[in-house]
Chains A and B, each alone.
Chain A
Amino acid sequence: AQSVTQPDIHITVSEGASLELRCNYSYGATPYLFWYVQSPGQGLQLLLKYFSGDTLVQGIKGFEAEFKRSQSSFNLRKPSVHWSDAAEYFCAVGAFGNEKLTFGTGTRLTIIP
């Protein structure tokens, strides 16, 4: 069975600082990996996805993520955060032939001035 671990429940970052949110997955074959963002009172919005090919993927809002098979990780990064990035971030894993995504428990990001 596939699973996702987001080890950080809550992260606080100063505006303008760099950000890295961690995600580790467990899956026997090549996974499909996603990062979603959820603003308060809203549904989840896709930031980026990885299926194959280049292990560094670019997403919306200046986010990127790197797939590292050897570490079973898919960490999300942003060079300089903005106050509007404050939200909850979810990593998710899926697989070819399976539409069921398994979501991590989320990381809440707080931005301080």
Chain B
Amino acid sequence: DAGVIQSPRHEVTEMGQEVTLRCKPISGHNSLFWYRQTMMRGLELLIYFNNNVPIDDSGMPEDRFSAKMPNASFSTLKIQPSEPRDSAVYFCASSEPGSRANSPLHFGNGTRLTVT
């Protein structure tokens, strides 16, 4: 089991550029979550998918943020255009099928995004 795989590990970009973060969940997991971690706000849930369908995107901060899950093994989080305040560590997590909230989250190692 390779775990949740995120890429890139680090991303440095200039304000206004498009940023795409990628996530491969654990095989067999049917729920996928995108979190953002900052010193000021801690861990925030941005969006989560169940069976590739977005269930709750109320945490997505602005229309500049979008997420897709075209299939069970891949998801992207896109920021366009990026701003310095988007600088954070972005985590992807997945969980296996089970009763809601009964399955623990498995986190990737995160993507550290720096927008200058």
Question: Which residues of A are interface residues toward B (Cβ below 8 A)?
Answer: 32, 34, 36, 41-46, 49, 51, 90, 94-106
Contacts and interface: CB of A to CB of B under 8 A. Distances in A.
Contacts of A99: 31, 33, 48, 50, 55, 95, 100-101
B109 A46 contact: no
Nearest to B107: A43
B91 A98 contact: no
B105 interface: yes
Listed from nearest, the 10 A-B pairs whose CB atoms lie closest are A43-B107, A94-B101, A103-B43, A46-B104, A105-B42, A44-B107, A32-B101, A97-B100, A43-B109, A43-B108
B78 to A, nearest CB: 21
B115 interface: no
A34 B43 CA distance: 14
Interface in B76-116: 91, 93, 95, 99-102, 104-110
A110 B2 CA distance: 29
Contact of B109 (A34, A42, A49): A42
B67 interface: no
Given A44-B91, A99-B50, 7 more contacts: A43-B93, A46-B106, A96-B99, A98-B101, A101-B45, A103-B42, A105-B42
A51 B109 contact: no
B4 interface: yes
A90 B104 contact: no
B105 A98 contact: no
B49 to A, nearest CB: 10
Given A43-B91, A43-B93, A103-B42, A95 B109 contact: no
A74 to B, nearest CB: 15
B101 A97 contact: yes
Given A43-B4, A43-B108, A99-B55, A106 B101 contact: no
Given A90-B43, A99-B31, A103-B43, A46 B105 contact: yes
A99 B45 CA distance: 11
